[in-house]
Amino acid sequence: MPQLYRFDNGRKIGDISYEQLKFLNDYLANDVDTEFRVNSNTLRCLASYGADPMLISMLDDALGHDSWMEFVWCTDGPPTQWIQVVPAKPVRRSRRA
């Protein structure tokens, strides 16, 4: 069963059916992508195109007060982060004479 996760924080949005995933791919993806970007206007458009009301509600709850969100889908558990942010260590500079 496909699962949706927010891309920015990895928080699970919820489980969806394969029909709902096909709908998202049909209306949001250029290719067979695993990531989508939505805002409140996009959700209203999806609803007008006949999206499952539970799917729209789930995405709207996950969007919250943010202006937009990017989310990914996967079938085998939470996705691994592609980018790991590592704090820089201070470097001691030598004095030049």
Model confidence at 82: pLDDT above 60: no
Domain that holds residue 67: 3-74
Mean pLDDT of the chain: 85
In a domain, 37, yes or no: yes
pLDDT in tens, 29-57: 866 567 899 999 999 999 999 999 999 99
Q: pLDDT class for 8, splitting at 50, 70, 90? A: confident
In a domain, 90, yes or no: no
In a domain, 89, yes or no: no
In a domain, 81, yes or no: no
User: Dmax over Cα atoms in the chain, in whole Å?
Assistant: 72
Model confidence at 88: pLDDT above 90: no
In a domain, 65, yes or no: yes
In a domain, 55, yes or no: yes
Question: Phi-psi bin for 10: left (phi > 0), alpha (psi -120 to 50), beta?
Answer: left
Pick the residue with more confidence: 90 or 26?
Answer: 26
Q: Specify the number of domains making up the chain.
A: 1
Give, rounded to a whole angstrom, the gap between the first and last alpha carbons of the chain: 65
